[in-house]
Amino acid sequence: MFGSFVLPLALKIEVQRIGEYSLTEEDRLQIDMFEEQTLHDHFSEHDDQDYPWLNVVREFRKRRRIVRAIERCQGDSPTS
């Protein structure tokens, strides 16, 4: 399971290192999310709606939306 997640990211990082690819925002989100994913037991019993992998993804996406909203508000403020 993690191989299907990590291998594509590792390849993208290597191809970026040689100058043939630029990581996307989604790539960076997945890289940041990886450590959090390793902290969960993905093989324990769980409700189909409460799968650990999806919970981490949802939480990271929610945080990203909040950060973007704050950045937009700060950009619109008269003191910026």
Which pLDDT value is given to residue 41?
72
| pLDDT tens-digit map of 37-55 | 777 676 777 676 677 777 8
Assess contact for 26 and 51: CB atoms under 8 A.
Answer: no
Higher pLDDT, 28 or 35: 28
Give dist(CA 40, CA 15) in Å, integer.
Answer: 29
pTM over 0.75: no
Q: What's the confidence (pLDDT) of residue 21? A: 96
The rounded percent of the chain whose pLDDT value lies above 70 is 82
